[in-house]
A and B are shown apart, each in its own frame.
Chain A
Amino acid sequence: MDIRARQISRGKASGEALISQVPIGFLGGVDPKTGIVIEKGHPLEGRNVAGKVLVFPNGKGSTVGSYVMLQLAKNGKAPAAIINVAAEPIIAVGAIISKIPMVDMPEKDVFKLLKDGMKVEVDADNGKIKM
Protein backbone atom coordinates (compact mmCIF):
# COMPACT_ATOMS: atom_id res chain seq x y z
CA MET A 1 0.00 0.00 0.00
CA ASP A 2 1.18 3.54 -0.78
CA ILE A 3 0.58 6.57 1.46
CA ARG A 4 0.93 9.96 -0.18
CA ALA A 5 3.08 12.52 1.68
CA ARG A 6 4.89 15.81 1.11
CA GLN A 7 8.56 15.94 0.15
CA ILE A 8 10.78 17.78 2.63
CA SER A 9 14.23 16.34 1.82
CA ARG A 10 14.99 14.64 -1.49
CA GLY A 11 15.83 10.99 -2.12
CA LYS A 12 14.53 7.47 -1.64
CA ALA A 13 15.47 4.91 1.02
CA SER A 14 14.02 1.98 2.88
CA GLY A 15 14.46 0.26 6.20
CA GLU A 16 12.63 -1.03 9.23
CA ALA A 17 10.23 1.41 10.85
CA LEU A 18 11.12 2.78 14.29
CA ILE A 19 8.17 4.63 15.73
CA SER A 20 7.92 7.32 18.40
CA GLN A 21 4.53 8.79 19.25
CA VAL A 22 6.29 11.78 20.87
CA PRO A 23 8.71 14.39 19.44
CA ILE A 24 12.46 13.75 19.20
CA GLY A 25 15.19 16.27 20.01
CA PHE A 26 18.56 15.29 18.58
CA LEU A 27 20.82 17.53 20.69
CA GLY A 28 21.22 15.63 23.94
CA GLY A 29 18.54 13.19 22.79
CA VAL A 30 20.50 10.98 20.40
CA ASP A 31 24.18 10.02 20.74
CA PRO A 32 25.87 11.18 17.51
CA LYS A 33 28.54 8.45 17.75
CA THR A 34 26.24 5.45 18.14
CA GLY A 35 22.77 6.52 17.01
CA ILE A 36 21.30 5.38 20.32
CA VAL A 37 18.47 7.43 21.85
CA ILE A 38 19.80 8.69 25.19
CA GLU A 39 17.04 11.04 26.36
CA LYS A 40 15.93 9.82 29.81
CA GLY A 41 12.37 8.58 29.83
CA HIS A 42 11.92 8.86 26.05
CA PRO A 43 9.87 5.92 24.70
CA LEU A 44 12.78 5.12 22.33
CA GLU A 45 15.47 5.38 25.06
CA GLY A 46 18.13 2.73 24.38
CA ARG A 47 16.93 2.06 20.79
CA ASN A 48 19.18 2.77 17.79
CA VAL A 49 18.00 5.05 14.97
CA ALA A 50 20.78 3.96 12.57
CA GLY A 51 19.41 2.68 9.25
CA LYS A 52 15.80 2.91 10.47
CA VAL A 53 12.85 4.69 8.92
CA LEU A 54 12.23 6.98 11.86
CA VAL A 55 8.58 7.92 12.33
CA PHE A 56 7.67 10.68 14.82
CA PRO A 57 5.36 13.69 15.03
CA ASN A 58 7.98 16.48 14.84
CA GLY A 59 11.29 17.72 16.23
CA LYS A 60 11.83 19.54 19.51
CA GLY A 61 14.60 21.21 21.47
CA SER A 62 17.73 22.97 20.32
CA THR A 63 18.24 24.04 16.71
CA VAL A 64 21.73 22.54 17.01
CA GLY A 65 19.85 19.24 16.56
CA SER A 66 20.16 19.78 12.79
CA TYR A 67 23.94 19.57 13.10
CA VAL A 68 23.75 16.48 15.33
CA MET A 69 21.84 14.75 12.50
CA LEU A 70 24.76 15.56 10.17
CA GLN A 71 27.21 14.08 12.68
CA LEU A 72 25.11 10.90 12.78
CA ALA A 73 25.24 10.72 8.99
CA LYS A 74 29.01 11.19 8.94
CA ASN A 75 29.37 8.39 11.49
CA GLY A 76 27.12 6.10 9.44
CA LYS A 77 24.50 6.12 12.22
CA ALA A 78 21.76 8.30 10.71
CA PRO A 79 18.23 7.07 10.11
CA ALA A 80 17.71 5.80 6.52
CA ALA A 81 14.66 8.03 6.13
CA ILE A 82 12.33 10.20 8.22
CA ILE A 83 8.55 10.48 8.32
CA ASN A 84 7.12 13.39 10.36
CA VAL A 85 3.48 14.29 10.88
CA ALA A 86 4.22 18.03 10.53
CA ALA A 87 7.82 18.99 9.80
CA GLU A 88 9.45 21.90 11.59
CA PRO A 89 12.74 23.58 10.67
CA ILE A 90 15.16 21.67 12.96
CA ILE A 91 14.45 18.21 11.54
CA ALA A 92 13.84 19.52 7.99
CA VAL A 93 17.20 21.32 7.87
CA GLY A 94 18.95 18.37 9.53
CA ALA A 95 17.56 15.92 6.99
CA ILE A 96 18.52 18.12 4.04
CA ILE A 97 22.11 18.76 5.09
CA SER A 98 22.52 15.09 6.02
CA LYS A 99 20.90 13.85 2.78
CA ILE A 100 18.28 11.83 4.63
CA PRO A 101 15.10 11.43 2.52
CA MET A 102 12.19 12.93 4.46
CA VAL A 103 8.45 13.44 4.01
CA ASP A 104 5.72 14.90 6.17
CA MET A 105 1.93 15.36 6.15
CA PRO A 106 1.18 11.70 5.37
CA GLU A 107 -2.40 11.37 4.09
CA LYS A 108 -3.15 8.50 6.45
CA ASP A 109 -2.45 7.89 10.14
CA VAL A 110 1.03 6.39 10.07
CA PHE A 111 0.90 5.62 13.79
CA LYS A 112 -1.98 3.20 13.08
CA LEU A 113 -0.70 1.75 9.81
CA LEU A 114 3.01 1.38 10.58
CA LYS A 115 4.43 -0.89 13.27
CA ASP A 116 7.95 -1.12 14.71
CA GLY A 117 10.14 -3.39 12.56
CA MET A 118 7.86 -3.23 9.50
CA LYS A 119 9.73 -2.74 6.20
CA VAL A 120 8.98 0.72 4.81
CA GLU A 121 10.23 2.69 1.80
CA VAL A 122 10.22 6.48 1.73
CA ASP A 123 10.24 7.89 -1.81
CA ALA A 124 10.46 11.60 -1.10
CA ASP A 125 11.01 12.53 -4.75
CA ASN A 126 7.57 11.15 -5.62
CA GLY A 127 5.94 12.04 -2.28
CA LYS A 128 5.20 8.45 -1.33
CA ILE A 129 5.54 6.06 1.60
CA LYS A 130 5.44 2.37 0.54
CA MET A 131 4.62 -0.38 3.02
Chain B
Amino acid sequence: MYDGELGEAARQSMEILVALGRIYNAEKMIPITSAQVAGVSYKTIGDAGLEYLQDLSAKGAKTRVPAFLNPAGMDREQWREMKIPEDFAKKQIAILDAYSKMGIMKTCTCAPYFIGIRPKKGEHVAWAESSAIAFANSVLGARTNREGGPSALAAAICGVTPYYGLHMKENRVANILIDVHCGLRTIADFGALGSAVGKLAKDKYPAFRVIKKADESRLKVLGASMAATGSVPLFFIEGITPEWSVAEDAQHIEFTEADLRAARKELDTGLKPDLVTIGCPHASLEEIREVAVLVAKKKPTCEFWVCTSGKLKADADRLGYRKAIEEAGGLIVADTCMVVCPLEEMGHVVTGTNSGKAAAYLPNLCKQKVAFGDLEDILFR
Protein backbone atom coordinates (compact mmCIF):
# COMPACT_ATOMS: atom_id res chain seq x y z
CA MET B 1 0.00 0.00 0.00
CA TYR B 2 2.82 2.37 0.92
CA ASP B 3 4.16 2.25 -2.65
CA GLY B 4 0.83 2.99 -4.27
CA GLU B 5 0.09 -0.40 -5.84
CA LEU B 6 -3.44 -0.24 -4.42
CA GLY B 7 -4.13 3.29 -5.57
CA GLU B 8 -3.52 6.83 -4.38
CA ALA B 9 -6.08 6.82 -1.55
CA ALA B 10 -4.58 3.71 0.05
CA ARG B 11 -1.05 5.04 -0.50
CA GLN B 12 -1.81 8.34 1.20
CA SER B 13 -3.63 6.59 4.06
CA MET B 14 -0.68 4.26 4.63
CA GLU B 15 1.71 7.23 4.55
CA ILE B 16 -0.36 8.75 7.39
CA LEU B 17 -0.19 5.53 9.45
CA VAL B 18 3.57 5.13 8.84
CA ALA B 19 4.18 8.73 9.92
CA LEU B 20 2.15 8.20 13.10
CA GLY B 21 4.01 4.96 13.72
CA ARG B 22 7.27 6.90 13.46
CA ILE B 23 6.07 9.66 15.78
CA TYR B 24 5.11 7.11 18.46
CA ASN B 25 7.99 4.66 17.83
CA ALA B 26 5.75 1.78 16.78
CA GLU B 27 7.67 -1.29 15.66
CA LYS B 28 4.98 -2.64 13.34
CA MET B 29 1.42 -2.39 12.04
CA ILE B 30 -1.29 -4.69 13.39
CA PRO B 31 -4.63 -5.65 11.85
CA ILE B 32 -7.77 -4.10 13.31
CA THR B 33 -11.31 -5.48 13.35
CA SER B 34 -13.13 -2.14 13.12
CA ALA B 35 -12.66 1.59 12.82
CA GLN B 36 -14.83 4.35 14.21
CA VAL B 37 -14.42 7.59 12.31
CA ALA B 38 -14.90 11.00 13.91
CA GLY B 39 -15.00 14.37 12.18
CA VAL B 40 -18.51 14.07 10.77
CA SER B 41 -20.38 17.21 11.78
CA TYR B 42 -20.15 20.07 9.29
CA LYS B 43 -19.93 22.29 12.37
CA THR B 44 -16.62 20.75 13.45
CA ILE B 45 -14.84 19.99 10.14
CA GLY B 46 -16.26 22.81 7.99
CA ASP B 47 -15.56 23.30 4.28
CA ALA B 48 -11.94 22.21 4.74
CA GLY B 49 -12.99 18.76 5.98
CA LEU B 50 -15.74 18.40 3.40
CA GLU B 51 -13.26 19.08 0.59
CA TYR B 52 -10.79 16.55 1.97
CA LEU B 53 -13.41 13.81 2.21
CA GLN B 54 -14.69 14.51 -1.30
CA ASP B 55 -11.10 14.40 -2.63
CA LEU B 56 -10.39 11.12 -0.91
CA SER B 57 -13.59 9.50 -2.09
CA ALA B 58 -12.94 10.76 -5.66
CA LYS B 59 -9.54 9.04 -5.47
CA GLY B 60 -11.39 5.76 -4.97
CA ALA B 61 -10.86 5.29 -1.22
CA LYS B 62 -12.59 2.15 0.10
CA THR B 63 -12.61 0.68 3.60
CA ARG B 64 -10.99 -2.70 4.25
CA VAL B 65 -12.60 -3.33 7.67
CA PRO B 66 -16.05 -2.51 9.06
CA ALA B 67 -16.10 1.20 9.72
CA PHE B 68 -18.79 3.42 11.12
CA LEU B 69 -19.39 7.10 11.84
CA ASN B 70 -19.54 9.38 14.85
CA PRO B 71 -22.55 11.72 15.11
CA ALA B 72 -23.27 14.33 12.45
CA GLY B 73 -24.58 17.86 12.97
CA MET B 74 -28.26 16.96 12.58
CA ASP B 75 -30.91 14.25 12.50
CA ARG B 76 -30.92 13.05 8.88
CA GLU B 77 -34.72 12.84 8.84
CA GLN B 78 -35.95 15.42 11.35
CA TRP B 79 -33.46 18.25 10.77
CA ARG B 80 -36.25 20.68 9.91
CA GLU B 81 -38.01 19.97 13.23
CA MET B 82 -34.67 20.65 14.93
CA LYS B 83 -34.59 24.07 13.16
CA ILE B 84 -31.28 23.33 11.41
CA PRO B 85 -30.41 25.97 8.77
CA GLU B 86 -30.91 24.76 5.17
CA ASP B 87 -27.37 25.51 4.01
CA PHE B 88 -25.90 23.59 6.97
CA ALA B 89 -28.08 20.61 6.08
CA LYS B 90 -26.84 20.57 2.47
CA LYS B 91 -23.20 20.55 3.53
CA GLN B 92 -23.88 17.90 6.17
CA ILE B 93 -25.52 15.60 3.62
CA ALA B 94 -22.52 16.05 1.28
CA ILE B 95 -20.17 14.94 4.11
CA LEU B 96 -22.25 11.85 4.84
CA ASP B 97 -22.37 10.99 1.12
CA ALA B 98 -18.57 11.21 0.83
CA TYR B 99 -18.12 8.84 3.79
CA SER B 100 -20.77 6.48 2.47
CA LYS B 101 -19.05 6.24 -0.94
CA MET B 102 -15.94 4.99 0.85
CA GLY B 103 -17.98 2.19 2.41
CA ILE B 104 -18.32 3.69 5.88
CA MET B 105 -21.63 2.91 7.60
CA LYS B 106 -23.66 6.00 8.44
CA THR B 107 -24.42 4.81 11.96
CA CYS B 108 -23.78 8.36 13.22
CA THR B 109 -23.46 7.42 16.86
CA CYS B 110 -20.91 8.07 19.58
CA ALA B 111 -22.13 4.92 21.39
CA PRO B 112 -21.69 2.13 18.82
CA TYR B 113 -21.61 -0.38 21.69
CA PHE B 114 -25.36 0.23 22.18
CA ILE B 115 -26.12 -0.90 18.62
CA GLY B 116 -24.22 -4.18 18.71
CA ILE B 117 -20.73 -3.01 17.78
CA ARG B 118 -18.85 -4.54 20.68
CA PRO B 119 -15.24 -5.63 20.12
CA LYS B 120 -14.19 -8.38 22.53
CA LYS B 121 -11.54 -8.27 25.24
CA GLY B 122 -8.09 -8.01 23.69
CA GLU B 123 -9.38 -7.15 20.22
CA HIS B 124 -7.51 -4.36 18.39
CA VAL B 125 -9.58 -1.53 16.91
CA ALA B 126 -9.03 2.08 15.79
CA TRP B 127 -11.72 4.27 17.29
CA ALA B 128 -11.78 8.05 17.28
CA GLU B 129 -14.59 9.29 19.50
CA SER B 130 -13.12 10.03 22.91
CA SER B 131 -16.01 8.56 24.92
CA ALA B 132 -16.25 5.45 22.73
CA ILE B 133 -12.49 4.98 23.14
CA ALA B 134 -12.88 5.04 26.92
CA PHE B 135 -15.80 2.57 26.76
CA ALA B 136 -14.09 0.16 24.32
CA ASN B 137 -10.86 0.09 26.33
CA SER B 138 -12.35 0.07 29.80
CA VAL B 139 -15.77 -1.59 29.75
CA LEU B 140 -15.19 -3.99 26.84
CA GLY B 141 -11.46 -4.55 27.35
CA ALA B 142 -10.78 -3.99 23.64
CA ARG B 143 -7.65 -2.07 22.65
CA THR B 144 -7.54 1.28 20.92
CA ASN B 145 -5.42 4.39 21.02
CA ARG B 146 -7.00 7.82 20.91
CA GLU B 147 -7.33 8.15 17.16
CA GLY B 148 -8.09 11.41 15.36
CA GLY B 149 -10.54 11.71 12.48
CA PRO B 150 -7.96 11.32 9.69
CA SER B 151 -6.00 8.53 11.42
CA ALA B 152 -9.12 6.43 12.08
CA LEU B 153 -10.15 6.97 8.46
CA ALA B 154 -6.68 5.92 7.27
CA ALA B 155 -6.91 2.82 9.50
CA ALA B 156 -10.35 2.01 8.04
CA ILE B 157 -8.93 2.25 4.50
CA CYS B 158 -5.77 0.22 5.26
CA GLY B 159 -7.23 -2.21 7.83
CA VAL B 160 -4.25 -1.75 10.16
CA THR B 161 -2.98 0.60 12.85
CA PRO B 162 0.49 1.28 14.29
CA TYR B 163 1.27 -0.95 17.29
CA TYR B 164 1.99 1.34 20.26
CA GLY B 165 0.36 2.76 23.38
CA LEU B 166 -2.84 1.06 24.53
CA HIS B 167 -2.52 -1.77 22.00
CA MET B 168 0.28 -3.13 24.23
CA LYS B 169 -0.77 -4.91 27.42
CA GLU B 170 2.18 -3.55 29.41
CA ASN B 171 0.91 0.00 28.93
CA ARG B 172 -2.56 -0.73 30.25
CA VAL B 173 -1.76 0.09 33.86
CA ALA B 174 -3.60 2.66 35.99
CA ASN B 175 -1.47 5.36 37.57
CA ILE B 176 -4.08 7.11 39.68
CA LEU B 177 -6.12 5.23 42.29
CA ILE B 178 -9.41 6.68 43.53
CA ASP B 179 -11.26 5.39 46.58
CA VAL B 180 -14.87 6.46 46.21
CA HIS B 181 -16.37 7.20 49.64
CA CYS B 182 -19.75 8.39 48.46
CA GLY B 183 -22.97 6.95 47.15
CA LEU B 184 -23.31 7.10 43.38
CA ARG B 185 -26.86 6.67 42.20
CA THR B 186 -27.87 8.69 39.14
CA ILE B 187 -26.24 9.31 35.78
CA ALA B 188 -25.54 12.89 36.92
CA ASP B 189 -23.59 11.47 39.91
CA PHE B 190 -21.36 9.50 37.56
CA GLY B 191 -21.08 12.53 35.25
CA ALA B 192 -19.95 14.74 38.14
CA LEU B 193 -17.46 12.13 39.40
CA GLY B 194 -16.01 11.77 35.88
CA SER B 195 -15.83 15.50 35.43
CA ALA B 196 -13.87 15.96 38.67
CA VAL B 197 -11.55 12.98 38.16
CA GLY B 198 -10.85 13.89 34.51
CA LYS B 199 -9.51 17.27 35.65
CA LEU B 200 -7.14 15.60 38.11
CA ALA B 201 -6.15 12.70 35.89
CA LYS B 202 -5.51 14.67 32.67
CA ASP B 203 -4.11 11.88 30.43
CA LYS B 204 -3.49 9.38 33.25
CA TYR B 205 -5.44 6.14 33.64
CA PRO B 206 -7.69 6.11 36.75
CA ALA B 207 -8.61 3.02 38.76
CA PHE B 208 -11.67 3.24 41.02
CA ARG B 209 -12.30 1.23 44.16
CA VAL B 210 -15.51 0.89 46.11
CA ILE B 211 -17.97 1.55 43.33
CA LYS B 212 -20.46 -1.20 44.04
CA LYS B 213 -22.77 -0.97 41.10
CA ALA B 214 -22.77 0.76 37.71
CA ASP B 215 -24.73 -0.17 34.60
CA GLU B 216 -23.46 0.58 31.09
CA SER B 217 -25.30 3.93 30.85
CA ARG B 218 -23.47 5.08 33.98
CA LEU B 219 -20.08 3.67 32.88
CA LYS B 220 -20.59 5.43 29.55
CA VAL B 221 -21.10 8.83 31.23
CA LEU B 222 -18.23 8.31 33.68
CA GLY B 223 -15.76 7.56 30.85
CA ALA B 224 -17.11 10.28 28.57
CA SER B 225 -16.84 12.92 31.30
CA MET B 226 -13.25 11.96 32.14
CA ALA B 227 -12.37 12.04 28.44
CA ALA B 228 -13.88 15.52 28.14
CA THR B 229 -12.38 17.31 31.16
CA GLY B 230 -9.17 15.31 30.84
CA SER B 231 -8.11 13.06 27.98
CA VAL B 232 -8.59 9.75 29.77
CA PRO B 233 -8.72 6.81 27.30
CA LEU B 234 -8.78 3.95 29.85
CA PHE B 235 -10.08 3.40 33.39
CA PHE B 236 -10.70 0.45 35.67
CA ILE B 237 -13.31 -0.23 38.34
CA GLU B 238 -12.51 -3.02 40.75
CA GLY B 239 -14.95 -5.88 40.34
CA ILE B 240 -16.69 -4.31 37.34
CA THR B 241 -14.29 -3.79 34.40
CA PRO B 242 -12.66 -6.82 32.73
CA GLU B 243 -9.13 -5.55 33.43
CA TRP B 244 -7.59 -4.28 36.67
CA SER B 245 -3.96 -3.29 36.88
CA VAL B 246 -2.57 -0.52 39.07
CA ALA B 247 1.00 0.77 39.24
CA GLU B 248 2.71 0.46 42.64
CA ASP B 249 3.51 4.16 42.66
CA ALA B 250 0.03 5.25 41.59
CA GLN B 251 -1.20 8.57 42.98
CA HIS B 252 -3.89 7.91 45.65
CA ILE B 253 -7.04 10.02 45.98
CA GLU B 254 -10.11 9.86 48.23
CA PHE B 255 -13.38 11.04 46.70
CA THR B 256 -15.91 11.97 49.37
CA GLU B 257 -19.57 12.92 49.60
CA ALA B 258 -18.47 16.58 49.86
CA ASP B 259 -16.35 16.20 46.69
CA LEU B 260 -19.37 14.85 44.81
CA ARG B 261 -21.58 17.71 45.99
CA ALA B 262 -18.91 20.24 44.98
CA ALA B 263 -18.45 18.60 41.57
CA ARG B 264 -22.19 18.69 40.88
CA LYS B 265 -22.46 22.30 42.01
CA GLU B 266 -19.52 23.41 39.88
CA LEU B 267 -21.21 22.18 36.68
CA ASP B 268 -24.57 23.82 37.38
CA THR B 269 -25.36 27.52 36.85
CA GLY B 270 -28.66 27.00 38.71
CA LEU B 271 -30.57 28.59 35.79
CA LYS B 272 -33.76 27.21 34.30
CA PRO B 273 -32.95 25.58 30.94
CA ASP B 274 -34.87 26.45 27.76
CA LEU B 275 -33.78 23.11 26.30
CA VAL B 276 -32.88 19.89 28.10
CA THR B 277 -30.72 17.44 26.18
CA ILE B 278 -30.40 13.85 27.32
CA GLY B 279 -27.99 11.34 25.82
CA CYS B 280 -24.37 12.47 25.92
CA PRO B 281 -23.01 10.05 24.83
CA HIS B 282 -26.03 8.73 22.93
CA ALA B 283 -28.78 7.35 25.15
CA SER B 284 -29.21 3.63 25.69
CA LEU B 285 -32.63 2.09 25.23
CA GLU B 286 -32.96 1.96 29.02
CA GLU B 287 -32.26 5.70 29.30
CA ILE B 288 -34.88 6.42 26.63
CA ARG B 289 -37.36 4.25 28.51
CA GLU B 290 -36.69 6.07 31.78
CA VAL B 291 -37.34 9.44 30.13
CA ALA B 292 -40.52 8.15 28.48
CA VAL B 293 -41.86 6.92 31.83
CA LEU B 294 -40.92 10.13 33.62
CA VAL B 295 -42.49 12.55 31.11
CA ALA B 296 -45.64 10.45 30.76
CA LYS B 297 -46.33 11.17 34.44
CA LYS B 298 -45.63 14.90 34.28
CA LYS B 299 -45.06 17.17 31.29
CA PRO B 300 -41.67 18.97 31.33
CA THR B 301 -41.64 22.74 31.54
CA CYS B 302 -39.17 23.17 28.67
CA GLU B 303 -38.26 21.77 25.26
CA PHE B 304 -36.30 18.53 25.50
CA TRP B 305 -34.36 16.18 23.25
CA VAL B 306 -33.23 12.63 23.78
CA CYS B 307 -30.17 12.12 21.57
CA THR B 308 -29.46 8.61 20.33
CA SER B 309 -28.60 6.52 17.28
CA GLY B 310 -30.99 6.02 14.38
CA LYS B 311 -31.25 2.37 15.35
CA LEU B 312 -32.38 3.01 18.93
CA LYS B 313 -34.72 5.75 17.73
CA ALA B 314 -36.41 3.12 15.55
CA ASP B 315 -36.54 0.72 18.52
CA ALA B 316 -38.01 3.47 20.73
CA ASP B 317 -40.61 4.10 18.06
CA ARG B 318 -41.70 0.45 18.01
CA LEU B 319 -41.76 0.24 21.80
CA GLY B 320 -43.97 3.32 22.17
CA TYR B 321 -41.33 5.46 23.93
CA ARG B 322 -41.15 7.89 21.03
CA LYS B 323 -44.88 8.56 21.21
CA ALA B 324 -44.70 9.21 24.96
CA ILE B 325 -41.77 11.59 24.51
CA GLU B 326 -43.34 13.48 21.60
CA GLU B 327 -46.66 13.80 23.42
CA ALA B 328 -44.81 15.47 26.28
CA GLY B 329 -43.31 18.01 23.87
CA GLY B 330 -39.95 16.28 23.39
CA LEU B 331 -38.05 14.95 20.39
CA ILE B 332 -35.94 11.85 19.95
CA VAL B 333 -33.05 13.25 17.96
CA ALA B 334 -30.99 10.67 16.08
CA ASP B 335 -27.58 10.88 14.34
CA THR B 336 -26.50 13.99 16.23
CA CYS B 337 -26.27 15.57 19.68
CA MET B 338 -26.38 18.84 21.57
CA VAL B 339 -22.62 19.31 21.23
CA VAL B 340 -22.07 18.83 17.48
CA CYS B 341 -25.26 20.43 16.15
CA PRO B 342 -25.37 24.23 15.73
CA LEU B 343 -27.33 24.92 18.97
CA GLU B 344 -26.00 28.46 19.18
CA GLU B 345 -27.62 29.26 15.80
CA MET B 346 -30.95 27.89 16.96
CA GLY B 347 -31.83 30.45 19.61
CA HIS B 348 -30.97 28.45 22.75
CA VAL B 349 -29.26 30.09 25.71
CA VAL B 350 -29.46 27.71 28.70
CA THR B 351 -29.15 23.97 28.04
CA GLY B 352 -29.82 21.29 30.64
CA THR B 353 -27.83 18.06 30.84
CA ASN B 354 -27.00 15.21 33.22
CA SER B 355 -23.68 14.52 31.46
CA GLY B 356 -20.30 15.82 32.59
CA LYS B 357 -19.16 15.68 28.98
CA ALA B 358 -21.97 17.86 27.64
CA ALA B 359 -21.45 20.24 30.57
CA ALA B 360 -17.78 20.54 29.58
CA TYR B 361 -18.40 21.26 25.89
CA LEU B 362 -21.67 23.23 25.78
CA PRO B 363 -20.21 26.57 26.98
CA ASN B 364 -17.38 26.71 24.41
CA LEU B 365 -18.69 24.79 21.41
CA CYS B 366 -22.31 25.98 21.61
CA LYS B 367 -22.07 29.19 23.70
CA GLN B 368 -24.61 27.78 26.17
CA LYS B 369 -25.05 28.26 29.89
CA VAL B 370 -25.41 24.87 31.57
CA ALA B 371 -28.08 23.59 33.92
CA PHE B 372 -26.66 20.36 35.35
CA GLY B 373 -28.60 17.88 37.42
CA ASP B 374 -30.76 14.78 37.58
CA LEU B 375 -33.57 14.51 35.04
CA GLU B 376 -36.23 15.01 37.73
CA ASP B 377 -34.58 18.36 38.48
CA ILE B 378 -33.65 19.85 35.09
CA LEU B 379 -36.79 18.82 33.19
CA PHE B 380 -39.08 20.51 35.71
CA ARG B 381 -36.91 23.34 37.07
Who on chain B is nearest to A62 by CB? Answer: B44
**By the criterion CB–CB under 8 Å, are A68 and B48 in contact?**
yes
Tell whether A63 is near chain B: CB-to-CB under 8 Å. yes
Q: Given contacts A8-B19, A71-B51, A92-B23, are A64 and B12 in contact (CB under 8 A)?
A: no
- B156: min CB distance to chain A, Å: 14
Tell whether A14 is near chain B: CB-to-CB under 8 Å. no
**By the criterion CB–CB under 8 Å, are B22 and A6 in contact?**
yes
What is the size, in residues, of chain B's interface with A at 8 Å between Cβ atoms?
21
- B91: min CB distance to chain A, Å: 14
Tell whether B16 is near chain A: CB-to-CB under 8 Å. yes
Q: How far is the CA of A8 from the CA of B21 in the complex (A)?
A: 10
Q: How far is the CA of A67 from the CA of B42 in the complex (A)?
A: 13
**By the criterion CB–CB under 8 Å, are A71 and B47 in contact?**
yes
Report how many A-B pairs have Cβ atoms within 8 Å.
65
Chain A residues with CB below 8 A from B150, complex form: 63, 66, 89, 93, 97
Tell whether B97 is near chain A: CB-to-CB under 8 Å. no
Of residues 119 through 150 on chain B, the ones whose CB sits less than 8 Å from some CB of chain A are: 148-150
Q: How far is the CA of A74 from the CA of B49 in the complex (A)?
A: 13
- B147: min CB distance to chain A, Å: 9
- B159: min CB distance to chain A, Å: 18
Q: How far is the CA of A82 from the CA of B335 in the complex (A)?
A: 38
- A25: min CB distance to chain B, Å: 14
**By the criterion CB–CB under 8 Å, are A9 and B39 in contact?**
no
Q: How far is the CA of A74 from the CA of B51 in the complex (A)?
A: 10
Which of B44, B49, B55, B151 is the one whose CB lies under 8 Å from A89?
B151
Tell whether A87 is near chain B: CB-to-CB under 8 Å. yes
Chain A residues with CB below 8 A from B19, complex form: 8-9, 87, 92-93, 96
**By the criterion CB–CB under 8 Å, are A67 and B46 in contact?**
yes
Most chain B CB within 10 A, of A7, A67, A92, A104, is at A67
Which of A7, A64, A71, A90 is the one whose CB lies under 8 Å from B44?
A64
Q: How far is the CA of A88 from the CA of B49 in the complex (A)?
A: 19
Which of B15, B47, B48, B151 is the one whose CB lies under 8 Å from A10?
B15
Tell whether B45 is near chain A: CB-to-CB under 8 Å. yes
Chain B residues with CB below 8 A from A97, complex form: 12, 16, 52, 150
**By the criterion CB–CB under 8 Å, are A93 and B148 in contact?**
yes
Who on chain A is nearest to B38 by CB? Answer: A63
Q: How far is the CA of A105 from the CA of B51 in the complex (A)?
A: 31
Q: How far is the CA of A32 from the CA of B50 in the complex (A)?
A: 14
Who on chain B is nearest to A10 by CB? Answer: B15
**By the criterion CB–CB under 8 Å, are B22 and A8 in contact?**
yes
Chain A residues with CB below 8 A from B45, complex form: 64, 67
Tell whether A70 is near chain B: CB-to-CB under 8 Å. yes
**30 A-B pairs whose Cβ atoms sit less than 8 Å apart in the complex:** A6-B22, A7-B22, A9-B15, A9-B19, A63-B39, A63-B148, A64-B39, A64-B46, A64-B49, A66-B52, A66-B150, A67-B45, A67-B49, A70-B51, A70-B55, A71-B48, A74-B51, A88-B23, A89-B20, A89-B23, A92-B19, A92-B20, A93-B16, A93-B20, A93-B150, A96-B15, A96-B19, A97-B16, A97-B52, A104-B23
Residues of A within 8 A of B (CB): 6-10, 32, 63-64, 66-68, 70-71, 74, 87-90, 92-93, 96-97, 104
Residues of B within 8 A of A (CB): 12, 15-16, 19-20, 22-23, 39, 44-49, 51-52, 55, 148-151
Q: Given A70-B51, A96-B15, A96-B16, 11 more contacts at CB 8 Å?
A: A66-B52, A68-B48, A70-B52, A70-B55, A71-B47, A87-B19, A92-B19, A92-B20, A93-B20, A97-B12, A97-B16
